[in-house]
Structure 1
Amino acid sequence: MSSNGDGGDGDGGGSNGGDGLAGHRARLDAEMERCGQWPADSPWLREAFAALPRDRFAPQRLWRWDGWAYVPVDRAADPDGWAAELYGVSSAAVTQLTGGLPSSSLSAPGAVADMLDSLRLEPGHRVWDVGTGQGWTAALSAWRAGPSLVVSSEVDERLAGFARERLAAAGLDAEVRTGDATRGGVPGGGQVDRLHATYAVESVPWSWVEAVRPGGRIVYPWGRLGYVALTVADGGAGARGWVHGLAQFMGDRHAPAQATDGPAAHAAVRAGADPQVRRVLDRDPAGLEDWDLRFAVRVAVPDAVLTTEQGPEGPAVLVHDGALSWAEFRAGADGRPVLLQGGPRRIGDEVMAAWDQWERLGRPELYDYGVTVTPDAQWAWHGSPDGPRWPIAQPAPAGR
């Protein structure tokens, strides 16, 4: 979950408590085996994870959320806690804060494995790794593709320098260049066979499609939720593909800030205002905890941020748009579910409309959705490229 220009500093040495880093690495391997997260079609990934353990790409200080703020976890002071932050299957390890919020991380191992499996990377492929971060995904790609075939973009020269050091220490010949990949083409020019992005974009820069040869693959985190694998069409006229997984990634540093989740973010948007609309619902708000439904809402109402809060009457689902509009799905005083909402738009009604549409479509899974990208438009679709569709806002022109 690296943003455009993430990184850190650190090394692969040092002591570790308990049974050491080897124990954490072994437990990660076993847990991914137990959860079925080692991709059957890409057995090379298990070998690469073993050859290039993520602790060798981690800084000496990580950051852990304690419920109120991010607190440091220093390797020297708490080696076992530091290693535990790194080796959760589904957890990113936060490596950098900017303004008190994460601006860099080592992505969750399970998500990294799944995205690189979706990339269909083979020896001899030229790869553009977009968003170097600590250099771990560039390292894994170089391990598979071969020498001098991976180029990685990093917006911050200091962070790029760290990644270069880590890659060199691992004995890998991968190039890291400083530059903004969201606004430019492949460093050094030409086209690549594969593009792997480590930070989220709501819409795909057309320069990414132009950078990949026809038949090549682009795998990228899609906005607030999910990641997509696109195949570039013959002639490079566009790209399309399916949603491949469910995860949350940090966004492009130059894009508008994404609205944050959690009850505090919702409370900041509501700002203590009384509801302007209150109505009784005919369904249990707990249904919104279904991740396939949440993904359908993400497609239809992309700026809606949903958070579940446990209250005395049971779970409540809080929604906001990061600006002025909010909604709450919760149990009323008489036990019946209610929708409360306020602000200039009725975002709760928009969520309900997306829920109704999801029901009419037969409650599809997130894997039933895809994305099409052309020079002039982008849209999400259900079932097939000719099925129901939802527009995706185009990226701003380069140099904005």
Structure 2
Amino acid sequence: MNRLPDLQSRLERAMQEQGLWPADSPWVRPAMEKFPRHRFAPDRLWTWDGDAYVPVDRSTDPEGWAELVYGSPADSTITQVIDGLPTSSLSCEEIVADMLDSLMLEPGQATLELGSATGRNARLLAQQAGPGLVTTVEFDPTLAAVAAANIAATGGGVDVLTGDGAAGAPGRGLFLRVMSTYAVDRIPWAWIRQTAPGGRIVTPWGRLGHVALTVAPDGQSASGWIQGLATFMPARGTSQGSEWDEARGGRAPAVEAPFAPDVQQLHQDASLLFALRVIAPDIRVRTALDNGAINVWLHDGHTSWASIEAPEIGGPAVARQGGPRRLAAELDVAWHGWKAAGTPSLWDFGMTRTRDDQFIWAHDAETGPRWSTTTASPLRAA
């Protein structure tokens, strides 16, 4: 029995019930329903079994395959794994819709996409922009071929190129809209140079959110607001560093001490988590609730680590840490930096990229507090 139509409808209803279809971009929902996820999903998908990513093949497990394609609005579908790490996916439906909304795409606007993956996003862009107006660039030749085939099978009208997305699309002129489907820590200047003044760039930043930038009239900078919070895959070839257990390496804690800040807030407040990503960008934070206790794991991608545990009822949290840095203390300093800036919410943050610098600001691009993303010290405001 073909359950794909039922699963597609289930996902569409969930998007509706959760208010995730963008009201300001009414074209998004019909486009996403016309070009559903399963038409772009490869026959082999991947899922995490608790220890590693394992394949799920459509030919041998059609039910499992279909469930991976159509999870919840917040579920992405892993379509490629290399060396044990996911390297490409069908992004979760709510983020696809949100980023398309953020782009503010109008018919007739030349559009550049970086990161073709399965080709679905380029197909959706072309549905709004029009045939012949979308160019998409993919680093992986195998994925580029898959994207080109999927786009051809669903109507064509998109130019698929193989190349490094960081360079944009050399020789293809200016675009009014640019979208990246992978995360970058520093917005490539080539993207701004290839966007017409007044044009809009939407990209994930730093694996924790996406931003929409408008290019200045003189073309020498781009600035705009953070649009949402989500985790994205980094640019191909970007070092992802070690994980927490690798950073710890089995070593016993060197320091154990009470941790005064409210760990529950750290677990629940997306604005705080984003602010910490801005102020202390090289500290990786993960939280989880386990039997009423909140656990926090910190590491720097190298050899410094910390774990913080808050008991279920009363009593201070306890930080255990090791390595050359004291990450719990650094987190506390960054937390105070957020408070000193007026505890801005996620929606109060923005970004400006100039030719030589990039910084995140809060409240106002000119007068608000700002943090350079290119300074050597992650805890020093610009």
Distance 1:142 1:52 in 2: 11
2:357 equivalent to 1:388:
no
Q: TM-score, structure 1 length as denominator?
A: 0.89
Distance 2:57 2:208 in 1: 30
Structure 1 residue 301, shift from structure 2 partner: 1.1
Distance 1:193 1:305 in 2: 35
Moved more, 285-294 or 23-32: 285-294
Match in the other structure for 1:367 = 347
Match in the other structure for 1:291 = 270
Tell me the SS of whatever aligns to 1:234: coil
Match in the other structure for 2:108 = 124
Does the Cα contact within 8 Å between 1:153 and 1:187 map onto a contact in 2?
Answer: no
Match in the other structure for 1:258 = 240
The count of corresponding residues between Structure 1 and Structure 2 is 371
Distance 1:376 1:94 in 2: 35
Does the Cα contact within 8 Å between 2:279 and 2:337 map onto a contact in 1?
Answer: no
Moved more, 348-357 or 130-139: 348-357
Query: Mapping of 1:89-238 within 5 angstroms?
Result: 89-182=73-166, 184-238=167-221
Distance 1:342 1:305 in 2: 15
Tell me the SS of whatever aligns to 1:209: helix
Structure 1 residue 90, shift from structure 2 partner: 0.6
**Structure 1: stretches of 5+ with no match in the other structure:** 1-16, 395-400
Rate the CA distance shift 1:69–1:20 in 2: closer, same or farther, 3 A. Answer: same
Structure 1 residue 332, shift from structure 2 partner: 7.6
2:340 equivalent to 1:357:
no
Structure 1 residue 210, shift from structure 2 partner: 0.2
Distance 2:288 2:29 in 1: 37
Structure 1 residue 310, shift from structure 2 partner: 4.7
Deviations 1:82-122 (A, max 9, x none): 12211221111000110011011111110011001000001
Query: Mapping of 1:46-85 within 5 angstroms?
Result: 46-85=29-68
Distance 1:232 1:174 in 2: 24
Structure 1 residue 312, shift from structure 2 partner: 6.7
Q: Which of 30, 47, 53 is equivalent to 2:13? A: 30
Distance 1:250 1:230 in 2: 20
Distance 1:331 1:185 in 2: 46
Does the Cα contact within 8 Å between 2:114 and 2:168 map onto a contact in 1?
Answer: no
Structure 1 residue 286, shift from structure 2 partner: 2.2
Amino acid at match of 2:373: I
Structure 1 residue 311, shift from structure 2 partner: 5.3
Does the Cα contact within 8 Å between 2:293 and 2:311 map onto a contact in 1?
Answer: no
Rate the CA distance shift 1:310–1:210 in 2: closer, same or farther, 3 A. Answer: same
Distance 1:344 1:249 in 2: 29
Tell me the SS of whatever aligns to 2:330: helix
Moved more, 306-315 or 228-237: 306-315
Amino acid at match of 1:178: T
The structure showing larger relative contact order (alpha-carbon pairs under 8 Å, at least 6 residues apart) is 1
Amino acid at match of 2:264: A
Distance 1:49 1:219 in 2: 18
Does the Cα contact within 8 Å between 1:62 and 1:73 map onto a contact in 2?
Answer: yes
Structure 1 residue 191, shift from structure 2 partner: 0.5
Q: TM-score, structure 2 length as denominator?
A: 0.93
Structure 1 residue 302, shift from structure 2 partner: 1.2
Distance 1:179 1:108 in 2: 25
Distance 2:7 2:214 in 1: 36
Q: Which of 283, 287, 308 is equivalent to 2:287? A: 308
**Structure 2: stretches of 5+ with no match in the other structure:** 376-382
Amino acid at match of 1:218: I
Does the Cα contact within 8 Å between 1:177 and 1:187 map onto a contact in 2?
Answer: no
Structure 1 residue 187, shift from structure 2 partner: 4.3
Deviations 1:299-323 (A, max 9, x none): 1111211122455781210100110
Q: Which of 254, 260, 272 is equivalent to 2:250? A: 272
Deviations 1:283-338 (A, max 9, x none): 33222112221111111111211122455781210100110111122148994312
Backbone CA RMSD of aligned residues = 1.8
Does the Cα contact within 8 Å between 1:309 and 1:317 map onto a contact in 2?
Answer: yes
Does the Cα contact within 8 Å between 1:143 and 1:172 map onto a contact in 2?
Answer: no
Does the Cα contact within 8 Å between 1:151 and 1:187 map onto a contact in 2?
Answer: no
